[in-house]
Amino acid sequence: MKELAARLIHRKSKVNLIWVSIGVVYLWFGMLKFFVGVSPAEDLAKATIDQLTFGILTPEISIILLAIWETSIGLLLISHLFIKFALKLALVHIILTFLPFLFFPDLVFTQAPFGLTLLGQYIIKNVIILGVLIVLLKESNPLRS
């Protein structure tokens, strides 16, 4: 019984490390967007949101809303509050980060479909975050056996 408890505690600490790690990434990248010209993804994010919203939001408003979204996700994940909600926000966000592949293929590919620019590589690494978020969402299901 003690061995089982020790394994569960060890497993829980590993999962907590993952929550915090993803949360720190979201918090860091989100905070950068509050400061004009600091985030390397700022221009791409503004252009993507412009395409997605058909120009309804100004670039200045869209980047602030994105900064709030990302930092909120980060804070919720780090603090482990409203976790299902945070994970759903993060899943929607991370899926939307792939839109530049559709909206701006000339910016993300050197030779489609496999040759990626540095920007394309920056986006494709989000596959890892997507996978982790899916696993965390499954882990957070209280009905899971």
Q: Per-residue pLDDT tens for 81-133?
A: 999 999 999 999 999 999 999 999 999 999 988 899 999 999 999 999 999 99
Domain ranges of the chain: 15-139
Q: What pLDDT is attached to residue 6? A: 57
Percent of the chain with pLDDT over 70: 87
For 125-144, what is the mean pLDDT? Answer: 84
With bands split at pLDDT 50, 70 and 90, how would you rate the model's confidence at 140?
Answer: confident
What is the distance between the alpha carbons of residues 123 and 25, in angstroms, rounded to a whole number? 14
Q: What pLDDT is attached to residue 145? A: 39
Cα of first residue to Cα of last residue in the chain, in angstroms, is 18
In this structure, are residues 32 and 64 in contact, taking their beta carbons and an 8 Å threshold? Answer: no
